[in-house]
Every structure is written in structure tokens, then in C-alpha cells.
Amino acid sequence: MHILITGAAGNIGTRLRKLLKGAYPRIRLSDVRSPTDLRSDEEFIAVDLADYEKVKKITEGIDGIVHLGGHARRGSWDTIHKSNIIGCYNLFEAAYRSGVKRVVFASSNHVVGFYPRERKIGVDVTVRPDSRYGVSKAFGEAVGALYADKHGLRVTCIRIGSVKDKPIDQRRLSIWIKPEDLAQLVRIGLEHPDIRFEIFYGSSNNEAGWWDNSNARRFGYHPEFRSEDFRAEAMAAQAKLPPDPIGDRFQGGSFCSDEYDADRKW
Ligand SMILES: NC(=O)c1ccc[n+]([C@@H]2O[C@H](COP(=O)([O-])OP(=O)(O)OC[C@H]3O[C@@H](n4cnc5c(N)ncnc54)[C@H](O)[C@@H]3O)[C@@H](O)[C@H]2O)c1
């Protein structure tokens, strides 16, 4: 398979391109900025996802795309609109026109950020985004479903929790995913013969988890890392953080409290 990774210069892209290299000898990298650690044997093409013609070019001859590119945090509507709405649409449209067979889309837990922490949710709940960023990821999932159902693209959306080597606070004990486990999910999306349109939660084996990830397990996902192994460290870090009465209630954390005024008196 010839793979394209968008957002290849970012945090996850930098980790994934190394983790996936053994499995896929041919990987094309793209981002709006160049990776700082690009090696001479790696193919990199700088492209802004908002430019359809250029996005079309980088998808040509590709079998599977890992779509990480985009604005990866809260942001203004202009920024989110350009990178995550127009950019994401361009990516799926170009993939379809170029005959790409599979797309793995980096969705986010912020698609469902306004579910309370005491509620365990699966992949079939109504989206409850906690930010313009979360809305853009819900849009990406919807575009993915359209191209899967209408045009036969095989699409996997991974609602990624928090990608780090270890969970860094209490919330991350519930949503953490180690890069190696994420690479396992990405490979399922790129290779499993029964994928049409699927949503997985991007989390490791987290005892404190809020998500029913049985859909991913159905496709053979066996996360190897446990957030509980880092509990003491994560809770010590949590103790140094200021309380966040709204953020601490909801799964999306500070994305929920940011700009929050739903309790105001009319
Ligand atoms: N890191 C996490 O824990 C996490 C959690 C949930 C979802 N995600 C999603 O995973 C993906 C990767 O996240 P990350 O942590 O590596 O973020 P990142 O910001 O480090 O990387 C994103 C990359 O996308 C590129 N990009 C932004 N706008 C672009 C555009 N218009 N055209 C081309 N490239 C553009 C940036 O230059 C950057 O290198 C993102 O889509 C993010 O929303 C990440």
C-alpha cells in the first residue's frame, strides 16, 4: 500500500510516521510546514489543505490516507473553517476523485465533549461537541460517512483522546492513548477487510475510561498500555491544577468551560 499522511509535521504525525514505517515502506508525507526531522529517504510535499488542486495532486497514486492535518485545538471560526471544514472536505473529495480506497480520519473526543463524566458512551450516541473544533470533527465524521455510503470509500474515524507517552492528569487517565496503540488502530483502518464506515475511540486500556470501545475491539483492537500504571503521577499533577467547576463535570474538560455561559440568567 502507498500511504499518505497529512499533518505529518505535527505531534502525532511525527510519532506515527516512524511507527508505521515498518508496515508501509511507501509513505508520502504532507503538511503546510516541513517536518523538522525529515530524512533524505522520506517523500514530503508541502500543501495547504484549503487548496483543492494541490490536495488532489498529493492524493494521486495513493491507496490509503491517514488524515491528521488540521487545526488541532480550540480556535477562531476562520481558522477552523479553513483547515478543518474546507480542508477536510477537500481531502475526502480528492481521495474519492483520485481512487484512494481508504481514509483514516483523526477525529476527536471533543465531538462528544459535553457528555458528563459519569456517563459511559459508545460510538452510537448523538454528537455533543464542546467547541468549534469539536463541531469541525463531527463535520469530518459526517463527510467521511457520506463518501463511504455514497462512493464506497472505506472510512475509519478515530475519536482520539489524548496522545502522549503517559497520562498527564486525572482526565487523561480516562482518555489517554499511547502512540503505539493509536498506530494499531490506524492499521486496522488501513487494512481490515470489513471496514466500510466505522468510528473507534482512540484510547488505550484505561480502567477509568468513559468510552465503550467494543466496536474497535470487534475489529481486533487489543490496546497494550494501561493508564492505571501512571495513576499516582497523574493525580499528583492534577493536585497542582486549579479547579474547573464546569470542565471537571464533562468529558471534554477545559474545552467545555472555555466560553461557557449556559448557566447565565436570561
Ligand atoms: N494530540 C491529540 O491528543 C489529539 C487528540 C484528538 C484529536 N487529535 C487530532 O489528531 C490530528 C493530529 O494532532 P496533533 O496533536 O499532531 O496536532 P498538531 O497541531 O501537532 O499537528 C497538526 C498538523 O496539521 C497541520 N495543518 C494545520 N492546518 C493545516 C492546513 N490548512 N493544511 C495543511 N496542514 C495543516 C499543522 O501544520 C500541523 O503540523 C489533528 O487532526 C487533531 O485534531 C489529536
User: Residue 224: its pLDDT value, please?
Assistant: 98
Q: How far is CA 145 from CA 92, 104, 135, in A?
A: 10, 12, 15
Q: What is the predicted pLDDT for the residue at 264?
A: 85
Q: Ligand 1 centre from 60 Cα, in Å?
A: 22
Query: How is the chain split into domains, by residue range?
Result: 2-264
Ligand 1 neighbour 69 (Cβ under 6 A): yes
Catalytic annotation, pick one of 133, 147, 201, 221 = 133
Is 63 a pocket residue for ligand 1 (Cβ < 6 Å)?
no
Q: Tell which atom from ligand 1 comes closest to the C-alpha of 164.
A: 3
Dist CA 200 CA 249 (whole Å): 23
Ligand 1, atom 36, lies closest to the CA of 7
Helix (H, G, I), strand (E, B) or coil at 243: coil
Residue 18 in contact with ligand 1 by CB distance below 6 A: no
- The grid coordinates listed for 242 are 486549579
> Residue 11 Cα, ligand 1 centroid: separation in angstroms?
7
Position 98 scores a pLDDT of 98
Residue 266 clears pLDDT 90, i.e. is over it? no
For the stretch 75-99, pLDDT in tens is 999 999 999 999 999 999 999 999 9
- The response to whether residue 29 sits with its C-beta less than 6 Å from ligand 1 reads no
75 lines ligand 1 (CB under 6 A): no
**What is the percent of the chain with per-residue pLDDT over 90, rounded to a whole number?**
98
Are the C-beta atoms of residues 86 and 139 closer than 8 Å to each other?
A: no
Here the cell at position 241 is 491544577
Which segment of 188-192, 201-205, 227-231, 259-263 scores lowest on mean pLDDT? Answer: 259-263
108 Cα–ligand 1 center, Å? 11
Express each pLDDT in 111-166 by its tens digit.
999 999 999 999 999 999 999 999 999 999 999 999 999 999 999 999 999 999 99
**pTM of this prediction?**
0.98
> Mean pLDDT over residues 20-48, rounded?
95
Alpha carbon distance 132, 137 (integer Å): 9
Tell me, using a 6 A CB cutoff, whether residue 72 lines ligand 1. Answer: yes
**pLDDT above 90 (res 26):** yes
Taking CA atoms only, the protein residue closest to ligand 1 atom 41 is 68
pLDDT tier at 207, thresholds 50, 70, 90? very high
Rounded to the nearest angstrom, the distance between the alpha carbon of 71 and the centre of ligand 1 is 5
- Tell me which of 3.40.50.300, 3.40.50.720, 3.90.1150.10, 1.10.3720.10 is the CATH number of domain 2-264: 3.40.50.720
Question: What CA–CA distance (Å, rounded) separates 28 from 5?
Answer: 6
Known catalytic residue: 52? no
pLDDT at 198 over 80: yes
Name residue, grid cell 471496514: 195
User: Per residue in 225-256, pLDDT tens?
Assistant: 999 999 999 999 999 999 999 999 999 999 99
Distance, CA 148 to ligand 1 centroid (Å)? 23
Number of H helices, E strands in the chain: 10, 9
